[in-house]
């Protein structure tokens, strides 16, 4: 979201995708959908949409948290990469 961080006014541009109303609301929906999916995969309680403010820092932090959850889940799911494997 680097460009959005530099130009936060873009978040308030009207948007009719999914009847969200603004780009901000659409990005918030995307961030929350990916977070809730990661939480389900990890067996966590799903966050409510109201738990994450529609601000750039909050959405970036939430997105990073989702990536960390998925990465941990993937690393737990694959055999140790330090072992020698014969293919």
- What is the pLDDT, as a whole number, of residue 35? 95
Q: What is the pLDDT of residues 5-21, one digit of tens each?
A: 888 899 999 999 988 99
- What is the pLDDT, as a whole number, of residue 87? 60
The CA–CA distances, whole Å, from 78 to 20, 21, 86 equal 38, 41, 16
Confidence check: pLDDT of 27 > 90: yes
Confidence check: pLDDT of 85 > 60: no
d(CA 85, CA 87): 6
- What is the pLDDT, as a whole number, of residue 82? 52
Q: What is the pLDDT of residues 65-81, one digit of tens each?
A: 999 999 888 888 776 65
What mean pLDDT is reported for the chain?
88
* Residue 57 phi, psi dihedral angles, 5° rounding: -60, -40
The CA–CA distances, whole Å, from 75 to 37, 39, 64, 71, 72 equal 17, 16, 16, 6, 5
């Amino acid at each position: 979201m680097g460009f959005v961080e530099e130009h936060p006014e873009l978040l308030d541009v009207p948007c009719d995708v999914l009847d969200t109303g603004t780009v901000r609301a659409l990005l918030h929906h995307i961030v929350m959908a990916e977070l809730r999916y990661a939480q389900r995969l990890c067996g966590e309680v799903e966050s409510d949409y109201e738990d994450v403010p529609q601000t750039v820092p909050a959405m970036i932090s939430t997105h990073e948290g989702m990536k960390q959850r998925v990465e941990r889940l993937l690393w737990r799911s694959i055999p140790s990469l330090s072992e020698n494997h014969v293919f």
